[in-house]
């Protein structure tokens, strides 16, 4: 098994934290996103979408998409469970993870990629050049504000994003909150439930991943 990572990037961090919570050690290769290694022919054979994380299995299967990589690790290493403990719980976790990926992680991505000077012509991930749309910066920031509010509303009633246990939904939301720092946004003072949760998840050893 081999994990293709980029230590500075938020998307593979979702998997790094997941790996740390599972207590796994996986041989890891760093992909140099800054110098376009993910756009090379060699990397595209591994992942035509030109993104990290990628997990290469011993049979040669390559898995991309953070949630799919985590799905594999969860099934191969069930303890501790990070994607739910029964049919209902697994669906609830999947719901929150998916919603906060879109409303949180992808919202920050939208604002960041349409703004960063170094990403001109690369507003979407992938091999094809896509022009930035400046209006998406404000729209993305508005989405992040609503994500913060929704996160706070959920955490007003539950210790963790998907309920009683720490799960992959916490990881996605935590990485989205940290990633929001890249566009100079942070949890507002009034989101005190989310702030308390953020302190707790950030105090876990996995947060260093």
Residues in contact with a second copy by CB under 8 A are 48-49, 57, 59, 61, 63-65, 67-69, 71-72, 75-76, 86-88, 90-92, 94-95, 98-99, 124, 126, 128, 130-131, 133, 135-136, 139, 142-143, 146, 150, 153
- The Cα 115–Cα 144 span in angstroms is 15
* Alpha-carbon radius of gyration of the chain: 17
User: Which residue, 51 or 206, has its beta carbon nearer to a second copy?
Assistant: 51
Joined together, the tokens standing for residue 30 give: 């760093």
Joined together, the tokens standing for residue 176 give: 């989205």
Least distance (Å) between residue 198 CB and a second copy: 21
Least distance (Å) between residue 123 CB and a second copy: 8
Least distance (Å) between residue 66 CB and a second copy: 9
User: Which residue, 96 or 198, has its beta carbon nearer to a second copy?
Assistant: 96
User: Which residue, 36 or 91, has its beta carbon nearer to a second copy?
Assistant: 91
- The Cα 32–Cα 75 span in angstroms is 29
- The Cα 203–Cα 209 span in angstroms is 12
Least distance (Å) between residue 196 CB and a second copy: 21
- The Cα 44–Cα 72 span in angstroms is 21
- The Cα 93–Cα 168 span in angstroms is 7
């Amino acid at each position: 098994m081999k994990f293709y990572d980029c230590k500075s990037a938020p998307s593979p961090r979702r998997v790094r934290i997941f790996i740390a919570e599972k207590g796994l050690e996986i041989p890891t290769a760093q992909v140099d996103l800054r110098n376009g290694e993910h756009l090379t022919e060699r990397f595209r054979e591994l992942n035509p979408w030109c993104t990290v994380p990628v997990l290469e299995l011993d049979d040669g299967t390559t898995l991309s998409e953070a949630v799919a990589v985590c799905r594999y690790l969860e099934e191969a290493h069930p303890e501790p469970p990070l994607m739910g403990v029964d049919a209902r719980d697994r669906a609830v976790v999947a719901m929150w993870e998916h919603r906060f990926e879109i409303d949180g992680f992808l919202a920050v991505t939208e604002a960041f990629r349409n703004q960063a000077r170094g990403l001109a012509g690369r507003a979407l991930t992938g091999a094809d050049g896509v022009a930035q749309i400046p209006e998406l910066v404000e729209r993305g920031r508005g989405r992040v504000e609503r994500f913060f509010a929704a996160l706070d509303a959920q955490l007003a009633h539950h210790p963790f994003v998907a309920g009683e246990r720490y799960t992959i939904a916490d990881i996605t939301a935590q990485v989205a909150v940290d990633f929001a720092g890249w566009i100079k946004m942070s949890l507002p003072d009034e989101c005190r439930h989310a702030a308390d949760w953020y302190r707790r998840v950030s105090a876990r050893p996995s947060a260093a991943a």
